[in-house]
Structure 1
């Protein structure tokens, strides 16, 4: 059995079809085991014997769309990928806060990795890098002015469209903890 985290795009906890119990129900109906949710923002952990991640992503997304009307994307990472990412400590000495908003933007499995990162996205963003094994961009954002979207986030959207989803570093840590419980 493999432990996976599904990072669902476009989940609004206030949406009547986007509650954790309904999301978990879709995963359970698909035959996955040890299904659990992390926070109320579209993070589902589960076990499966399946190893074809792109096929899992498509299967889950079809079910979410048909059963709950959720059109967003599904991005899956295996427990080992996330554990290795955490162990690499990409944000040494930093604490998540308004001025140091630590983010991880995951690419859909099979998405093309960047040939290069954008040059100096803006003064409010420090791109830590791209981890090819976990297929994730890591950035520190000064989020003290929430009315402005940093250029780096806009670049990600323009380049990868709906084939990405962003989580805070705290959420990634919580997902890994849930996978290990």
Structure 2
């Protein structure tokens, strides 16, 4: 059985309200095992014999829609993929404050032309690296909350659904999904 991480977009941070107990129940009700949530922002780690991340995401989206009446995009990564994300942050070695590091998870790899055209809004000091289906962000002068280089900005510019997690959450989820 493989370990998986489902990342719900916009849950409990100004968007749809989903109780983590309901999320665990929904995931378990789909036949997955050992569902554990992390924080209140739509992160669930679980075991499954299903090996198709897109099928897992669609199943969780459908269960949320059917049982809670909410339309919530769900992105799924394997435990191995999340471990690689946690181990591949190009900014982790140069920043001691995890609140200044973010990872934006993308539903699909963006078009290379959209990546090439991606720029930081004027007046902001943000470093970013697009690596496959992730965008690593470093905000050396302050937090993500004051930036215009946000999840919504990236969705618009890259043309893909995205959800953002802070570095502490990424590391915690990686640990939960591999250990």
TM-score (norm 1): 0.83
**1:35-50, aligned counterparts within 5 Å?**
35-50=35-50
**1:1-181, aligned counterparts within 5 Å?**
1-12=1-12, 18-91=18-91, 92-96=93-97, 101-108=100-107, 110-115=108-113, 116=116, 118-132=118-132, 135-141=133-139, 142-143=141-142, 146=145, 148-151=146-149, 153-160=151-158, 163-181=161-179
Looking at structure 2, the residues matched to 9 and 131 of structure 1 have their Cα atoms a distance apart, in angstroms, of 20
Cα shift at 1:79: 0.6
Listed one character per residue, the Cα deviations across residues 137-181 of structure 1 (whole Å, up to 9, x for unaligned) are 0111244594x5424645313135671100001110111122234
- The structure-2 alpha-carbon separation of the partners of 1:71 and 1:154, relative to structure 1 and needing over 3 Å to count, comes to closer
Give the match's secondary structure for 1:12.
Answer: coil
RMSD (Å) for aligned C-alpha atoms: 2.6
Listed one character per residue, the Cα deviations across residues 89-134 of structure 1 (whole Å, up to 9, x for unaligned) are 4221202366xx21110011x44344325234444342331121xx
Q: Which has the higher helix share?
A: 2
Looking at structure 2, the residues matched to 145 and 35 of structure 1 have their Cα atoms a distance apart, in angstroms, of 29
Looking at structure 2, the residues matched to 15 and 163 of structure 1 have their Cα atoms a distance apart, in angstroms, of 15
Q: Mind listing any 5+ residue stretches in structure 2 that lack a counterpart?
A: none
Looking at structure 2, the residues matched to 12 and 160 of structure 1 have their Cα atoms a distance apart, in angstroms, of 24
Give the match's secondary structure for 2:126.
Answer: strand
Looking at structure 1, the residues matched to 147 and 15 of structure 2 have their Cα atoms a distance apart, in angstroms, of 24
TM-score (norm 2): 0.84
> Does the CA contact (< 8 Å) of 2:80 and 2:178 recur in 1?
no
Looking at structure 2, the residues matched to 138 and 145 of structure 1 have their Cα atoms a distance apart, in angstroms, of 12
> Does the CA contact (< 8 Å) of 1:125 and 1:150 recur in 2?
no
- The structure-2 alpha-carbon separation of the partners of 1:93 and 1:12, relative to structure 1 and needing over 3 Å to count, comes to same
- The structure-2 alpha-carbon separation of the partners of 1:168 and 1:44, relative to structure 1 and needing over 3 Å to count, comes to same
Q: Mind listing any 5+ residue stretches in structure 1 that lack a counterpart?
A: none
